[in-house]
Structure 1
Amino acid sequence: MNSMTGFGRSTRIADGLQCTIEIKSVNSRFLDLNIRSPKQVNSVEHSIRKCIQKSLHRGKVDVFVTLQDIDDREKQFLINSSLKHQIQDLLVLEGFYKSAQDVPLAAVMSISNEWIQIKDDEIQEDSLCSLITETTMEALNALVHMRTSEGVQIQQDLLERLSHMTAIIDDINAHKEDAVLAYKENLRKKMLEYVDNLDIAINEDRLLQEVAIMADKTDITEEIVRFRSHVVQLTNTLKKDEPIGRKLDFIIQEMNREVNTIGSKAMDISLTDHVVQLKCELEKVREQVQNIE
């Protein structure tokens, strides 16, 4: 089980070129991959995407690629002869020199040096692709390690909260019968008082039957059984070594539905307090689940 939050960084050097790649990720519903890199990396950007998509399934992922020369590399000199001749002719035309041959190089450079361009030899695409890929894999491994470590911590926290919720639901189950009996007795007394105020006769058996029917609607046995089932599902899912975030989110929704039903049926104040505790724990679990891949 992995978190969706992490950071990884790597630097490698090849052919006098230093490549640094940083990858950071946060939670997101889908895999949202963004790459920021120099133009010379455009041709091999697909390699970065391919590496990341093999390892990550969800999360907003930002990749930053930096290239820097660190050694003396072969240079290329590009001479714009046309511009150089134009500058020479200009100096002759203005009367500074008698002919273009008399114009010294320093005079031409004083006007403009744009007629000379110096650039590094381009690194071969295969070498660049290899450098980018290896650097990406190292940064990605660091990111995955961080996401896995955080995932272990989240898993432990969730298991502890599930244990706490199990204890709460067990306590609710232990007191549900008393709550139903108390509700029946309270309902019977109120109905009798209402009938007495109306000064009419009532069949005792029919009264008890109606009380039983209404009290039966407050029974929460089914909801407790389903909640326990969801706890087992959630626990088993947490132990799987695969992307489980979406499944966990669905299970949490089902658990929350059962708790709401219990809360609407429970008439006893002690059960209501337990329902509030369950809702608080479920909200904390839901927040944690949002960070799981």
Structure 2
Amino acid sequence: MNSMTGFGRATLLVDGLQCTIEIKSVNSRFLDLNIRSPKQVNSVEHIIRKCIQKTLHRGKVDIYVTLQDVGDRTKTFLINSALKTQIQELLVAEKFYATPQDAPLSAVMSISNDWVQVKDDEITEESLTTLITETTTNALEALIKMRQAEGIHIQQDLLQRLSKMSAIIDDINEHKTAAIVAYKENLRTKMMEFVENLNITVNEDRLLQEVAIMADKTDITEEIVRFRSHVVQLTNTLKKDEPIGRKLDFIIQEMNREVNTIGSKAMDITLTDHVVQLKCELEKVREQVQNIE
């Protein structure tokens, strides 16, 4: 399992052009990509998006792309002959030289060197594609390593909390019978007092039957069985090497539903205390799961 939080950076040099790509990801319900890149990358930006969509499944992902000319690329010189001739004619008109041909290049450049332009040869589409693809791949590998490392820490924490919740539910299961017996006795006593206050006669067997029916409604055996089943599901899911965040969300919702039902049926202070502990642990688990891909 992987966390959705991570950072990856890679730099690559191809044909004198250096590319640096940084990828940062944080929690998000879905995969949300935001690419910031220079206009030279517009034609191949889809490659970055495709690489990330193929690798990541959830998270808000910010990608920063920078291109830098390191000075090793082939240059192209462009001569503005009209401007050069115009400068030479100016030098003749000012009587520095007799004819335009007599004006040396040094004199022309002393006036202006705008007539000579140096331009980097444009990087080919193939080279740019290779540069962006490899840099993105390397940055993604670094990001995934960090997400995996974070995922391991989250997994260990969740497994510890599941173990703690299993212990709590075992305590609840151990105490449930005594709680039901105490509830029955308390309910029977109160009903007998109520009948005596009304000064009426009732069938004691019928009264005990009603007490038993009401007490049975507080039985939490089914909820305990389902909760334990969800713990097993959650534990097994945590060990899978695939995106599991949404499945974990669903399982935790079901676990929370069982705990709420146990809490509504609990007629004993000890059970109530255990339910509070379970809810606290479940909330911590839910917060952690929000960061799982």
Do they superpose with TM above 0.5? yes
The answer for the alignment partner of 1:158 in structure 2 is 158
The answer for the alignment partner of 1:214 in structure 2 is 214
How do residues 128-277 of structure 1 correspond to structure 2 at under 5 angstroms?
128-277=128-277
How do residues 41-52 of structure 1 correspond to structure 2 at under 5 angstroms?
41-52=41-52
Distance 2:83 2:108 in 1: 13
Alpha-carbon distance, 1:118 to partner: 3.5
The answer for the alignment partner of 2:70 in structure 1 is 70
1:77/1:116 contact within 8 Å kept? yes
Distance 1:176 1:150 in 2: 39
Distance 1:275 1:86 in 2: 92
How do residues 16-35 of structure 1 correspond to structure 2 at under 5 angstroms?
16-35=16-35
Alpha-carbon distance, 1:83 to partner: 7.3
Q: 3-state SS of the aligned residue for 1:73? A: coil
Q: 3-state SS of the aligned residue for 1:240? A: coil
Alpha-carbon distance, 1:75 to partner: 2.5
Alpha-carbon distance, 1:84 to partner: 7.6
Alpha-carbon distance, 1:190 to partner: 1.0
Pick closer, same or farther for the CA change 1:262–1:85 going to 2, 3 Å.
farther
Pick closer, same or farther for the CA change 1:57–1:217 going to 2, 3 Å.
same
For 2:132, give the aligned amino acid. I
Deviations 1:144-177 (A, max 9, x none): 1111111111111111110100000000000101
The answer for the alignment partner of 1:124 in structure 2 is 124
For 2:173, give the aligned amino acid. N
Q: 3-state SS of the aligned residue for 1:200? A: coil
Stretch of structure 1 that moved more, 117-126 or 181-190: 117-126
Alpha-carbon distance, 1:74 to partner: 2.5
Pick closer, same or farther for the CA change 1:262–1:86 going to 2, 3 Å.
farther
**Over the residues paired in the alignment, what is the CA RMSD in angstroms?**
2.5
Q: Does structure 1 residue 282 correspond to structure 2 residue 290?
A: no
Distance 1:28 1:20 in 2: 25
1:88/1:108 contact within 8 Å kept? no
For 2:269, give the aligned amino acid. I
Pick closer, same or farther for the CA change 1:200–1:130 going to 2, 3 Å.
same
For 2:27, give the aligned amino acid. N
Deviations 1:201-252 (A, max 9, x none): 1211111111111111100001001000100111111111111100000000
Distance 1:195 1:79 in 2: 114
For 2:134, give the aligned amino acid. E
Query: Unaligned regions of 5+ residues in structure 1, if any?
Result: none
1:84/1:108 contact within 8 Å kept? no
Distance 1:278 1:22 in 2: 41
Distance 1:114 1:158 in 2: 67
For 1:211, give the aligned amino acid. V
Q: How many residues align?
A: 287
Pick closer, same or farther for the CA change 1:22–1:198 going to 2, 3 Å.
same
